[in-house]
Amino acid sequence: MRPVSSSVVAGGLLLATVFLLSACQLLSSSTQPAPPPVAQFNGQAIHYDELRAAWERQQVEDTPTDTTQALLTFLNQYLNYQLKVHEATQAGYAEQLSIRREIATYTRERARPMFMNAHVMGPVLDTLLARRMHELHSRHILIRVEEEAAPEDTMQAHARIQTLRDSVINGADFAELARAESDDPSASQQGQRGFEGDLGYLSTGQLVGPYEDAMYQHPTDAPPTVVRTPFGYHLIDVLDRQPRLPRTRIAHLHIRPDDASPEARESARATIDSLAAALSPDSTAFAEAAIAHSDDPRTAENGGELGWLSIDQYVPPAFRNAVRPLDSDGAISEVVALDHGFYLIQRREVEPLPSDSEAEATFRERLDDLPRTEARREALYASLRDTIATTIDTSAVEQALGISDWSRPVAGAPRSAPDTALAVVGPDTLRTPDFETYLQAHGDLRGSALDDALYEWVDQRRLDYAAVTWTRQQASLDDELTAFTDGLLVFELMQDSVWTDTSSASPGNTATAASPSSSREQAYVERLRTRYDAHLFPQRLREQHATYQP
């Protein structure tokens, strides 16, 4: 029998999906006796509830007006399909190696993404969605140390960060310490995000996971906390927590003091106060004032237009906080005082925050690239290594592949090695052809050392085993796998028994495939009905349908 790809059985799968779940339904726990079946074969009963549920699942358009006739037609189809599944099972199709391999491949392909979503992607996505409606203002001091640093270097870095924490708790100025001690180069770059350790307002997905976790969990009135990230040790101070500011289009009017003297600053303040008193919430008036008075030449000629302010853009926290209370287009802020002058800010337009579904779609696009996703994935692999029994036969690997140098590049490994058992993962034996197939499918491993590629392969097979084991406990996939199996069995049965015309076969000629003949198929189904003593009970269906209440 020839192997069949997953796509070939799509037609059978459609019917299988429709019919399968009904066959698995539990009988009512009511003390009332179950109504008589609407069909039966080989001692197996088909009940109205089972049939009705299967019929409703296959409806892709509006329910027909005459549901009784539709159900009667469907009952005939449903019985025929169940007879084919039963016949294929009785004939031993499920035990054929090619079908078992096809089912195993399909199971792995469906189980892995479900398993990874439940254990890696899903939890990361849930965290991002739960935090997305808030943004936090934090600052930090970084003492850099590599993740794989020697213990003495790690201890030294930890001692330094703890000393800095003690200093802050005892009254030392955090900003001064950040400029002097932080290994984050931005701490000494005035005007940049990170100057004096101040990161401004940030929201979920913008920072490495450990930092973000500590930031969101830390109260704003608590002493700074220490956290380890891939960059080293951070002393984190959370200054403020606010609802997330929507993306907002703004304009500004900037008055800059003539020099650094107190008199110049006082004069600039008086100028902007008088402008503020004269302005009303009108975009045209604000634009005219900016053109006439703003000391920012880049924006003055455009009426102070700054464009869209979003969480990804850094502005001083005081500037951002001045935008928050602007509750209507045209509204103008209070005067904002910064080191390099005074500002009035006008809200021009606001975009609503993304809906839950929009936010989820955006986050899903980024999940694979987030360091926290990779960290969670690696933690899962480590857990599976500890919990799933695995043995690699190093001598068998060396003999089968003809190697002794495990650092040899994969590209130089011999092909068509003897079919040998190389490893055991749980109950599964991994063999040489499986390894060669994996290498051929993963060109990214070219140039990697053979031992790295081998252990990566074992990691992936371990993941497959865990995924399949887990998903077999999930009802939705279990039903889908049964549907796929039934569809594959029926396809092979019909291919061998009905759809392949062998009448013209002769010595030297192979069987030729003919178009499926409805008459041959109907005759075949009639033989199955006779063989398995199948019966339809239309009147029972009519009676039970008449009393059906959804």
Going residue by residue through the chain, which has 550 residues, state the pLDDT in tens, using 9 for 90 and above. Answer: 344 444 444 444 444 444 444 444 433 444 567 899 999 999 999 999 999 988 887 776 666 667 899 999 999 999 999 999 999 999 999 999 999 989 988 999 999 999 999 999 999 999 999 999 999 999 999 999 999 999 999 999 999 999 999 999 999 999 999 999 999 999 999 988 999 999 999 999 999 999 999 999 999 999 999 999 999 999 999 999 999 999 999 999 999 999 989 999 999 999 999 999 999 888 889 999 999 999 999 999 999 999 999 998 999 999 999 999 999 999 999 999 999 999 999 999 999 999 999 999 999 999 999 999 999 999 999 999 999 999 999 999 888 877 788 888 876 655 677 889 999 999 999 998 888 888 888 888 878 888 898 999 999 999 999 999 998 888 778 778 888 999 999 999 999 998 875 544 444 444 444 444 688 899 999 999 999 999 999 999 999 999 988 7
8 A C-beta contact, residue 250 and residue 306: yes
Residue 270, pLDDT score: 97
Amino acid 504: pLDDT: 42
The end-to-end CA distance of the chain, in Å, is 45
Look at residues 219, 243, 267 and tell me which one is the last residue of a structural domain: 243
Decide: 382 and 375 in contact? Cβ < 8 Å. no
Beta carbons within 10 angstroms of residue 430's beta carbon:
22
Distance CA 85, CA 486 (A): 6
- Residue 378's alpha-carbon distances to 120, 170, 228, 383, 450, in angstroms, are 10, 39, 17, 9, 20
Task: Identify whether the C-beta of residue 120 lies closer than 8 Å to the C-beta of residue 376.
Answer: yes
Residue 358 lies in a domain: no
Contacts of 366 (CB under 8 A, 6+ apart): 205
Query: Does 138 share its domain with 239?
Result: yes
pLDDT of residue 440: 84
Any domain includes 1: no
The verdict on 34 and 72 lying in the same domain is: yes
HSE (side-chain half, CA atoms, 13 Å) at 259: 3
Q: Is 279 in the same domain as 309? A: yes
What residues does 229 pair with on adjacent strands?
232
Tokens 């995000």 locate to: 193
Same domain, 341 and 411: no
Quick one: tokens of 154?
Answer: 């790690």
Do 266 and 332 have their domain in common?
Answer: yes
Provide the b/e sequence for 75-99 (b: ≥16 CB within 10 Å): beebbbbbbbbbbbeeeebbeeeeb
Compute the distance between CA of residue 541 and CA of residue 544 in angstroms, rounded to an integer. Answer: 5
Number of structural domains in the chain: 4
Do 24 and 121 form a contact (C-beta atoms < 8 A)? no
Q: Where are the alpha helices (DSSP H) in 182-238?
A: 209-217
Q: Which of 214, 243, 272 is the last residue of a domain?
A: 243
Prediction pTM value = 0.74
Domain span including residue 462: 370-471
- Mark out the alpha helices in 334-424 (DSSP H runs): 356-366, 371-387, 394-401
**In a shared domain, residues 239 and 254:** no
Same domain (yes/no): 197, 271: no
Specify the pLDDT at position 294: 97
For residue 110, being part of any structural domain is answered with no
* Burial class for 495, CB neighbours closer than 10 Å (0-12, 13-18, 19+): middle
Residues 466 and 488 occupy one common structural domain: no
210, 243, 276 — which closes off a domain? Answer: 243
What is the rounded CA–CA span in Å between residue 493 and residue 342?
82
| Contact criterion met (CB below 8 Å) for 20 and 50 | no
Domain membership of residue 398 (yes or no) is yes
Nearest by Cα to 93 from 180, 169, 1, 22: 1
Q: What pLDDT is recorded for position 400?
A: 83
Query: Is residue 21, in this structure, part of any structural domain at all?
Result: yes
Strand, helix or coil at 248? Answer: strand
Query: Are 216 and 136 in contact, with CB atoms under 8 Å apart?
Result: yes
93 and 51, same domain (yes or no): yes
Q: Are 541 and 75 in contact (CB under 8 A)?
A: yes
Q: Are 534 and 39 in contact (CB under 8 A)?
A: yes
In a domain, 99, yes or no: yes
Within a domain: 346: yes
Residues 83 and 179 in one domain: no
Q: What is the pLDDT of residue 56?
A: 86
Is the domain of 52 the same as that of 97?
yes
Same domain, 239 and 280: no
CATH number of the domain enclosing 308:
3.10.50.40
Q: Is residue 127 part of a domain?
A: no
